[in-house]
Chain A
């Protein structure tokens, strides 16, 4: 095997290279990864490695080709396939094979069961989907009862076909049935229909409603029905919640944790993606097709993705812990997984291509994560933190580890460390709490120094001014060229802009009639304005910054900051020409640029402020960012009136028309850009093809 990091750039050549986990003898084959809070996919250590494949002959049966479900309970594994239920111990030694049961005097064969569930006292429930029955057997395989169609009145015309079943500890039976979109069917312990829970409400978008309004009846009939989404699997977790996966490839929350009232109680974090398999953005839809879900005793849950044959394992609060499986031909990869289950510390996955049950065991890394969670569940945060620290040492990207560590560090007053941890989890509230303390401590320690520094600075400034005055009095600066340059700069950068700010009407009038203000400096302002946008994007404090600062799209930031104003300049000038404005292009450019000048400084002040504020103070900082814009628009409006010599109303009209002109400009530019890029693309394709044929 090769070095794993090298894969990054030699992967094409050495695709065979896989990460060797020499912690165990067996090797993991899939490239593990995880998501950061910035939606980045980053490599992660293997949390589980493949241990063995269990095949039919290991179970002592001839064939396992119709495998449909597995279930683990109290050290026993229930393996379900057409015609039989095989019960084994933890090492897959067959204990019992149930192929039939006695109903009255009649022996009934097990046919094509889809799901097996075992209660705490060992009772077995099987769903015979095609027969519309749920078979309830006792631990020995004797029939207790057959639950038939619960005769739900709202489901007229639908053949009752139960696919999945779970039974909670007070005996309520939850059934997922085919073609039932009202939710999960809840039956009381006697098998009588109670109600539906967890119905997916359909929320048609405004657009949908609009289309429906204008569509003809024929069109409506051809549109897809507004069917609520269908659940693909249900499972019962250790605390009695029902975990469910949604069969909807566009769902943003395809995994639900339903309480007895049918409400989704899965914790949600503002900046951490809710559990959804693979995704492109944390708020977006899943990329996975989640078909199966399983819960572990310790609260973890695993969801199976049929698209890429992966198993995603989540902490009880929905934080992604690790990913295993993946489609491929190697041990530990899956071909067509149909079921996942927790077997103690291990995870088992049933695969319908290889007709096998793949057993995965935790690596050191995986075991550390599991142990940390287990201890954390007992509210021993200190004990858990020791494990999280080890997890963190192996994988600093682990969101769960950072969350665990951060909470512990906050509690034990390790504020600096807590800041780092919370940064990696995106938890801004907690970060703020830690930062408040850090700031306090810093001020306590450094207040004296700060005050002294400020006093020294003031004294130095005053002294400098006195010295300069004296030197000027002596005539030391007379005739010196650099003195004049400095004075010019001061005038251009400070004095005139201040004059403009204090008396905008006069200043803009001067621009028009005395050519006041410096065009060169206006260019500088535009550059500074773009740069300030960049500074804001990159250096705004964590509390107020949700950008992915390691992967900024710099050109986009620069362009989107100045281009609207440049467009405005041209649009306003053009409109001015049309409606008899007096300003020329240079005038418009100047007043626009000067109007943006305050914003440059306010942004920088805001950025500084954002780095020392806490959560409650962010509103204050936002005022700085907002004020820049308000100032800009205010002065620009005055500029329009003065430069073009408009009345107030005409000024308003000019603004509106300018905006329209901007839209037209954008349209033309986009059109041109599309045409040109399309043309370039086509030419490129033609050249490529010619090269291929040559």
Chain B
């Protein structure tokens, strides 16, 4: 409704904001838009001329504003290369090119279970309508878009009118013909009153709406006050017209040479009837029409490239959430397209330059989209862009009938109200590639304390995952009960360590999974119970002290953000779906990809409202054991809110809790986490399972060790488990060299048969006895190379064949490795690399 829009009343002169200031109440502008002359807070008057205005200047970059079109230009002083927030290309009709923000908003109340939504672009609905305001700020500008449509809807007309009011207010101003027109839309009822014939289900539109509007408001002088009076009389106040009107605020400023884009969501406002769902930010800022010599960079897995020169326009284009997204949304739908993106970055490389975008704030709600030339509405631009989900929604049900599919959806009550900040770095020369992007990101992290230098390993580290206890159904005289099967007991683990040690394998990081609280289907860990089936506390202590004696480290592994059901794990401790039910993380059967909603050990997410207590209890219990190491397979791999009615916790609050508890654990233990999100990088001692590739979407051309180049030299990390289904693990070891990773193996002491009918039935080739010779040989080879690169970090990476099967990596001490994953010998840079092998130089 009109009154609910938090419109800032506007004054002739802007009291401009410092970019850090919050609240637009202080900032009064007159109700006339399109200011060319603005005043800074220090009183200095800036005259923005038509055309390009220089807003700020760094050492190498300049920031311009074109007031005609509200376009921001970020230009390199030396080369003259620039990026525009809008692209004006007569050959393309798609208006998204000309927009820096596209807002998606619900067209009905968001929380009713049949939401639909639509979108408006800043260009079409603000720039073209001349409703843009500028406010000067230090090194930049703040742009306020009053995005809106003034389309007439059925709500602009009274639902009913009494005979008297209709005659006095309307008919008496009209000709006979006009009255006839009105009567087409208003039927007289028995009591003499007039009732509108159109409405929500049969809306009025186009010419008819305009004609009627003209009659009512212009010819007859009807007003919205009268409308309110009519609606009050007939108790239809909820039908007051509401214009889709969203005030979007975006700030552009230079920080040094870097461009920072900030959207203060809290200051933005929208009509309550049309709440904001999400927005696309700068859809064509990182885009190019070039088809050669460049790529889009997406941080899928280890980092992936999509070449500009590409014909894969029929393939699914890249679209994925950062930080694993919100796992409570659409959990029942199988997807092959969700990438694991732990670092909130993206980028583009063209012939002359590269740009890296870093999401400083809002990565938890961000989706990355990448389209190659011609794939999106046939627009001839390759582009990579972000969108941000302000309000999450969930599919409640799908219906199919003869003509169509219907989806019933519901949005959350809560919405994201924090800032969204994206920082762009312009990279030129030698830095204009993914290695340069990795360096830029690394420097950014180091500068902000999000990455710290850990000690390096003097001897070649090797990560070993062992599986302890697993649930299984056992029978006593034909009567089944929930029993367990030992996959590796603590003393067997000790034997394996001893055997590995005797084979010359040193510096083992043992990630012990399923060692406590019920094993692999781990129950809640509020009170830590080391599995007595595996030998109990004393045997584990013995294993740990033995490990110390041979220089190995034991990390008992716990799920800390999820757990399977157990007594006392009631719904107050679990996160909830938007549909009001307890959230459960489903697995999918592999044949029809249906969610397995009835499993023996369903997995629940610990509610963020309980998470603090949960970790505190865990910490108290675990610290009593006196161990200094802790591993977790799910800690800091995702953030969840909870959507429980009246007890919801939004993502911003829950992130604070996650970080607080993570830091509490960091201060107590040496942590080993399984491919955690970037926010955890500064706290971990070891990272396991760092991907060496990604989900392998067809549209992705090549995987590069981007994340590893960022982490290298700061954190010790391992590859994913290498012994998945092949005895020959040479290629896996080469990937470890290419990425500067430690190798990782998974062992069990028991026979592989024992895994059947358990949750670990998809583990193959993990029996230590069948692998020990292979692993020892592989480690010896790895160690001999490690000697040469010990203490050095990855500094360069070069792909020779486009697919990443023929590469060269350079370590900081100058050692170069040429790796050839293909089946043919290759000659690279004067080095002959045999098929499926590598050369150290």
A354 within 8 Å of B (CB atoms) = yes
Contacts of A535 in B (CB 8 A): 477-478
Query: Given the complex of chains A and B, what is the CA–CA distance between A399 and B757 in angstroms?
Result: 16
Residue-wise, chain B 716-740 has the 8 Å CB interface mask toward A (1 for contact) of 0001111011111101100100000
Partner of B324, one of A14, A287, A329: A14
A57 and B726 in contact, given A330-B696, A535-B478 (Cβ under 8 angstroms):
no
> Are A22 and B726 in touch, CB under 8 angstroms?
yes
A2 and B675 in contact, given A57-B311, A531-B478, A550-B757 (Cβ under 8 angstroms):
yes
Partner of B764, one of A2, A31, A50, A394: A394
Partner of B732, one of A9, A22, A393, A534: A22
B592 within 8 Å of A (CB atoms) = yes
B821 within 8 Å of A (CB atoms) = yes
B770 within 8 Å of A (CB atoms) = yes
> Are B480 and A43 in touch, CB under 8 angstroms?
no
Contacts of B477 in A (CB 8 A): 531, 535
A354 and B314 in contact, given A33-B591, A329-B336, A394-B765 (Cβ under 8 angstroms):
yes
Query: Given the complex of chains A and B, what is the CA–CA distance between A10 and B320 in angstroms?
Result: 18
> Are B112 and A330 in touch, CB under 8 angstroms?
no
B642 within 8 Å of A (CB atoms) = no
Q: How far is the CB of B584 from chain A (nearest CB, A)?
A: 8
Interface of chain A: mostly helix, strand, loop or mixed = loop
Partner of A21, one of B580, B601, B724: B724
Q: How far is the CB of B697 from chain A (nearest CB, A)?
A: 6
A287 and B634 in contact, given A1-B301, A21-B724 (Cβ under 8 angstroms):
no
Chain B interface residue count: which class?
35 or more
> Are B756 and A397 in touch, CB under 8 angstroms?
yes
Interface residue stretch chosen among B337-345, B351-359, B449-457? B337-345
> Are B725 and A363 in touch, CB under 8 angstroms?
yes
> Are A13 and B314 in touch, CB under 8 angstroms?
no
Contacts of B605 in A (CB 8 A): 13
Contacts of B601 in A (CB 8 A): 9
Q: Nearest A residue to B467 by beta-carbon distance?
A: A5
> Are B762 and A8 in touch, CB under 8 angstroms?
yes
Q: Nearest B residue to A12 by beta-carbon distance?
A: B585
B479 within 8 Å of A (CB atoms) = yes
Chain A positions 1-56 with a Cβ under 8 Å from a chain B Cβ: 1-27, 29, 31-33, 41-46, 50, 53, 55-56
Contacts of B698 in A (CB 8 A): 53, 329-331, 333, 354
> Are A23 and B756 in touch, CB under 8 angstroms?
no
Chain A positions 265-288 with a Cβ under 8 Å from a chain B Cβ: 278, 287
Which has the most chain B C-beta neighbours within 10 Å: A13, A21, A535, A688? A13
Query: Given the complex of chains A and B, what is the CA–CA distance between A574 and B312 in angstroms?
Result: 76
A554 within 8 Å of B (CB atoms) = yes
A17 and B585 in contact, given A3-B465, A3-B746, A25-B731 (Cβ under 8 angstroms):
no
Contacts of B760 in A (CB 8 A): 5, 8
Contacts of A18 in B (CB 8 A): 695-696
Query: Given the complex of chains A and B, what is the CA–CA distance between A17 and B763 in angstroms?
Result: 14
> Are A42 and B761 in touch, CB under 8 angstroms?
yes
A45 and B725 in contact, given A330-B697, A550-B757 (Cβ under 8 angstroms):
yes
Q: Nearest A residue to B599 by beta-carbon distance?
A: A9
Partner of B520, one of A5, A21, A57, A278: A5
> Are B585 and A42 in touch, CB under 8 angstroms?
no
A355 within 8 Å of B (CB atoms) = yes
B374 within 8 Å of A (CB atoms) = no
Contacts of A56 in B (CB 8 A): 311
B117 within 8 Å of A (CB atoms) = no
A692 within 8 Å of B (CB atoms) = yes
B603 within 8 Å of A (CB atoms) = yes
Partner of A11, one of B316, B586, B638, B726: B586
Contacts of A570 in B (CB 8 A): none
A14 and B340 in contact, given A9-B759, A42-B756, A354-B698 (Cβ under 8 angstroms):
yes
> Are B633 and A554 in touch, CB under 8 angstroms?
no
Q: How far is the CB of B755 from chain A (nearest CB, A)?
A: 8
Which has the most chain A C-beta neighbours within 10 Å: B301, B520, B675, B762? B762
A45 and B592 in contact, given A535-B478, A694-B645 (Cβ under 8 angstroms):
no
Query: Given the complex of chains A and B, what is the CA–CA distance between A33 and B592 in angstroms?
Result: 12
> Are A4 and B762 in touch, CB under 8 angstroms?
yes
A534 and B591 in contact, given A14-B324, A43-B762 (Cβ under 8 angstroms):
no
> Are B580 and A692 in touch, CB under 8 angstroms?
yes
Contacts of B619 in A (CB 8 A): none
Q: How far is the CB of B521 from chain A (nearest CB, A)?
A: 6
A539 within 8 Å of B (CB atoms) = yes
Contacts of B405 in A (CB 8 A): none
> Are B695 and A16 in touch, CB under 8 angstroms?
yes
Interface residue stretch chosen among B76-84, B157-165, B327-335, B384-392? B327-335
Contacts of B112 in A (CB 8 A): 693
> Are A691 and B585 in touch, CB under 8 angstroms?
no
> Are A23 and B562 in touch, CB under 8 angstroms?
no
> Are B805 and A329 in touch, CB under 8 angstroms?
no
> Are B759 and A5 in touch, CB under 8 angstroms?
yes
> Are A2 and B720 in touch, CB under 8 angstroms?
yes
A9 and B314 in contact, given A23-B725, A45-B724, A331-B697 (Cβ under 8 angstroms):
no
Query: Given the complex of chains A and B, what is the CA–CA distance between A394 and B763 in angstroms?
Result: 9
Number of residue pairs A-B, CB distance < 8 angstroms:
245
> Are B732 and A691 in touch, CB under 8 angstroms?
no
Q: How far is the CB of B733 from chain A (nearest CB, A)?
A: 9
> Are B763 and A16 in touch, CB under 8 angstroms?
no
Contacts of A538 in B (CB 8 A): 475, 478
A395 within 8 Å of B (CB atoms) = yes
Query: Given the complex of chains A and B, what is the CA–CA distance between A361 and B513 in angstroms?
Result: 33
Partner of B478, one of A5, A394, A537: A537
A624 within 8 Å of B (CB atoms) = no
Chain B positions 303-317 with a Cβ under 8 Å from a chain A Cβ: 311-312, 314-316
A328 within 8 Å of B (CB atoms) = yes
Contacts of A467 in B (CB 8 A): none
A353 and B314 in contact, given A17-B340, A692-B580 (Cβ under 8 angstroms):
yes
Partner of B585, one of A13, A16, A308: A13
A332 within 8 Å of B (CB atoms) = yes
Q: How far is the CB of A638 from chain B (nearest CB, A)?
A: 31
> Are A3 and B585 in touch, CB under 8 angstroms?
no
Query: Given the complex of chains A and B, what is the CA–CA distance between A15 and B590 in angstroms?
Result: 12
> Are B480 and A554 in touch, CB under 8 angstroms?
yes
> Are B770 and A27 in touch, CB under 8 angstroms?
no
Contacts of A9 in B (CB 8 A): 521, 562, 564, 585, 587, 599, 601-603, 759
> Are B765 and A393 in touch, CB under 8 angstroms?
yes
Contacts of B752 in A (CB 8 A): 393, 396
> Are B396 and A692 in touch, CB under 8 angstroms?
yes
Query: Given the complex of chains A and B, what is the CA–CA distance between A354 and B315 in angstroms?
Result: 6
B790 within 8 Å of A (CB atoms) = no
Q: Nearest A residue to B579 by beta-carbon distance?
A: A692
Q: How far is the CB of A417 from chain B (nearest CB, A)?
A: 13
Q: Nearest B residue to A355 by beta-carbon distance?
A: B314
A78 within 8 Å of B (CB atoms) = no
Chain B positions 816-832 with a Cβ under 8 Å from a chain A Cβ: 821
Partner of A333, one of B311, B327, B336, B633: B336
A6 and B480 in contact, given A14-B324, A329-B337 (Cβ under 8 angstroms):
no
Q: How far is the CB of B137 from chain A (nearest CB, A)?
A: 40
Query: Given the complex of chains A and B, what is the CA–CA distance between A380 and B473 in angstroms?
Result: 40
> Are A16 and B338 in touch, CB under 8 angstroms?
yes
Partner of B580, one of A330, A353, A396, A691: A691
Query: Given the complex of chains A and B, what is the CA–CA distance between A329 and B315 in angstroms?
Result: 7
Residue contacts A-B, CB under 8 angstroms, 20 given:
A3-B513, A3-B720, A4-B724, A5-B759, A10-B587, A20-B693, A23-B725, A27-B693, A33-B590, A44-B764, A278-B592, A308-B591, A329-B315, A329-B697, A330-B698, A393-B752, A393-B770, A395-B725, A395-B764, A550-B757
Assuming A354-B312, A393-B767, what are 6 further A-B pairs, CB within 8 angstroms? A11-B586, A25-B735, A31-B762, A354-B314, A396-B753, A692-B579
Please name the 7 residue pairs, one residue from A and one from B, whose CB atoms are nearest each other, closest first: A23-B726, A328-B336, A45-B725, A22-B732, A43-B762, A12-B585, A329-B316
